Amino acid sequence: MKNTRRDFVKKTGLITSGLAMAPWLSNVSFSQSNVNDTIKVALIGCGGRGTGAIVQALSTKENIQLVAMADVFKDRLDGCYKSLMTSREKDKSLKATPVSQKVNVPEDHKFVGFDAYKKAMELADVVILSTPPGFRPYHFEEAVKQGKQIFMEKPVATDPAGVQRVLAAAKIAKEKKLNVVVGLQRHYQNSYRELMKRVQDGQIGDIVSASCWWNNDGVWVKPRTAGQTEMEYQLRNWYYFNWICGDHITEQHIHNIDVINWAKNGYPVSARGTGGREVRKGKNYGEIFDHHIVEFEYADGTILNSQCRHIPGTWTKVDELLIGTKGKVEFDSAKLSDSKGNLKYGFDKAKLENNPYQTEHDELWAEVAAGNYKFADAENGAYSTMTSILGRMATYSGQVIEWDKAINSGLSIAPKSFTWDADMPLKPDENGLYPVAVPGKTKYF
The model's pLDDT over 363-387, given as tens digits with 9 standing for 90+, comes to 999 999 999 999 999 999 999 999 9
Residue 8 pLDDT > 70: no
pLDDT band at 25 (very low <50, low <70, confident <90, very high): very low
Q: Cα 41 to chain center, whole Å?
A: 18
Using one digit for the tens of pLDDT, what is the confidence trace for 185-236?
999 999 999 999 999 999 999 999 999 999 999 999 999 999 999 999 999 9
Residue 22 pLDDT > 50: no
Mean residue pLDDT across the chain:
92
Residue 17 pLDDT > 60: no
Residue 6 pLDDT > 60: no
Mean pLDDT of 255-268: 98
Interatomic CA distance for residues 47 and 67, integer angstroms: 17
Q: What is the pTM of this model?
A: 0.92
pLDDT band at 36 (very low <50, low <70, confident <90, very high): low
List the domains of the chain with CATH numbers.
5-186+357-376 (3.40.50.720), 190-353+384-407 (3.30.360.10)
Question: Taking a C-beta distance cutoff of 8 angstroms, is the pair 150, 377 a contact?
Answer: no
Instruction: Give the pLDDT of residue 1.
Output: 39
435 Rama sector, left if φ>0, alpha if ψ -120 to 50, beta otherwise: beta
- Output Rg (C-alpha) for the chain, integer angstroms: 22
Q: Cα 250 to chain center, whole Å?
A: 10
Contacts of 432 (CB under 8 A, 6+ apart): 224, 283
| Span of 85-94, 113-122, 269-278, 322-331 with lowest mean pLDDT | 85-94
Instruction: Give the pLDDT of residue 87.
Output: 75
Residue 27 pLDDT > 60: no
CA atoms within 13 A on the CB side of 220: 6
Instruction: Give the pLDDT of residue 37.
Output: 87
Residue 94 pLDDT > 60: no
Mean pLDDT of 287-315: 98
Question: Taking a C-beta distance cutoff of 8 angstroms, is the pair 189, 347 a contact?
Answer: no
Using one digit for the tens of pLDDT, what is the confidence trace for 98-157?
899 999 999 999 999 999 999 999 999 999 999 999 999 999 999 999 999 999 999 999
Residue 395 pLDDT > 90: yes
pLDDT band at 95 (very low <50, low <70, confident <90, very high): low
Instruction: Give the pLDDT of residue 98.
Output: 87
| Span of 13-27, 75-89, 239-253, 351-365 with lowest mean pLDDT | 13-27
Residue 3 pLDDT > 70: no
Residue 250 pLDDT > 90: yes
Question: Taking a C-beta distance cutoff of 8 angstroms, is the pair 384, 184 a contact?
Answer: yes
Mean pLDDT of 258-273: 98
Question: Taking a C-beta distance cutoff of 8 angstroms, is the pair 303, 269 a contact?
Answer: no
Instruction: Give the pLDDT of residue 96.
Output: 57
Select, from the ranges 31-40, 86-95, 156-165, the one with the highest average predicted confidence (pLDDT). Answer: 156-165
Using one digit for the tens of pLDDT, what is the confidence trace for 403-441?
999 999 999 999 999 999 999 999 999 999 999 999 999
HEC assignment per residue over the chain = CCCCHHHHHHHHHHHHCCCCCCHHHHHCCCCCCCHHHCEEEEEECCCHHHHHHHHHHHCCCCCEEEEEEEECCHHHHHHHHHHHHCCCCCCHHHCCCCHHHHECCCHHHEEECCCHHHHHHCCCCEEEECCCHHHHHHHHHHHHHCCCEEEECCCCCCCHHHHHHHHHHHHHHHHCCCCEEECCHHHHCHHHHHHHHHHHCCCCCCEEEEEEEEEECCCCCCCCCCCCCHHHHHHHCHHHCCCCCCCHHHHCCHHHHHHHHHHHCCCCCEEEEEEECCCCCCHHHCCCCCEEEEEEECCCCCEEEEEEEECCCCCCEEEEEEEECCEEEECCCCEEEECCCCEEEECCHHHHCCCHHHHHHHHHHHHHHHCCCCCECHHHHHHHHHHHHHHHHHHHHCCCEEHHHHHCCCCCCCCCCCCCCCCCCCCCCCCCCCCCCCCCCCCCC
Among 218, 208, 212, 312, smallest CA distance to 264 is for 208
Using one digit for the tens of pLDDT, what is the confidence trace for 342-369?
999 999 999 999 999 999 999 999 999 9
Residue 162 pLDDT > 70: yes
Residue 92 pLDDT > 60: no
